[in-house]
Structure 1
Amino acid sequence: MRVMVLVKATEDSEQGFFPTPETTAMMEAMGSFNEELVKAGIMLAGDGLKPSSEGKRVAFAGPGRTVVDGPFAETRELVAGFWLWEVKDMDEAVAWVKCCPNPMLGPSEIEIRPLYELADLQ
């Protein structure tokens, strides 16, 4: 099964990345974790996202399109990074996330969402 693993944004992540001894250590730990995922054949893709202040949203209403510039409100609803994993089941995904170093300097959350597979749509 494929899952999207979403690293939720925090107020700190929305400020952008600034190299400090703490953030450098955090990034090194995440790099090591990513290497473990690759060696285990779990990780298909993954990356960090820049703050929402550098993003845009496109709102759809019938044929109309409206572009909204970031930053976006409700930091806890934003995504700061992601992985795409191939796992045998949700339990395996949870086990891997529980081994993950904290992706933020303070409290954080990671959300795991299964992707639709062709069999789900038939």
Structure 2
Amino acid sequence: MKYMLIMRAVDQAAVDTFENTDFNEIIAAMGKYNESMIEAGVMVDGAGLSDASEGAVVEFGDDDPVVTDGPYGELRELFNGFWMLEVSSKEEAIEWAKRAPLGAGSQMEIRRVTGPEDFPQDNEWIQKEQQWIEEGRVGRG
């Protein structure tokens, strides 16, 4: 099963701690964490995200979509990075999440990633997605 670990800072103290920590220490801690998952054969992908000021939100309603440039939303609504894991269970994903080198005021959300097998196999678009994956036109792993 594939799971996404979503890293969040939920309060300003976590942001302040990050900003006041030597960046080389952060990179080393994350590098060791990533390496442990790679060596265990569970890490599929992962990345950090830039500051919200470099992004935008597109909100959909009854009228045309509304675009809000970053920064946007409350701190706890933003996520700072992610990992994609291929593990045997939600419990295993939780165990990996608990090992992340994050401090107080941080949070890790764990979500199972759906795949074509979760949808009706006779659906035209599910079949097309499977074909795109097989052709390497989109990634799934």
**Unaligned 5+ runs, structure 1:** none
Counterpart residue identity of residue 44, structure 2: L
Counterpart residue identity of residue 84, structure 2: L
C-alpha displacement of 1:19:
7.8
Cα deviation digits, residues 4-63 of structure 1 (max 9, x gap): 110013436768x75853x42122111111011111111111111111111111223357
Tell me the distance in 1 between the aligned counterparts of 2:31 and 2:20.
15
Indicate the structure with greater strand content.
1
Tell me the distance in 2 between the aligned counterparts of 1:121 and 1:73.
32
Residue correspondences, number: 118
Indicate the structure with greater helix content.
2
Q: CA RMSD in A?
A: 2.3
**Unaligned 5+ runs, structure 2:** 121-141
Tell me the distance in 2 between the aligned counterparts of 1:13 and 1:24.
17
Larger Rg: 2
Tell me the distance in 1 between the aligned counterparts of 2:8 and 2:41.
24
Tell me the distance in 1 between the aligned counterparts of 2:34 and 2:81.
13
* Superposition map of 1:19-38 within 5 A: 20-21=21-22, 23-38=23-38
Other structure's SS at 1:93 match:
helix
What is the match of residue 100 of structure 2? 100
Larger relative contact order (C-alpha < 8 A, sep ≥ 6)? Answer: 1
What is the match of residue 111 of structure 1? 109
Q: What fraction of aligned residue pairs are identical, expressed as a percent? A: 37
Counterpart residue identity of residue 72, structure 2: F
Q: 1:14 to 1:58 in 2, by over 3 A?
A: farther
TM norm structure 2: 0.72
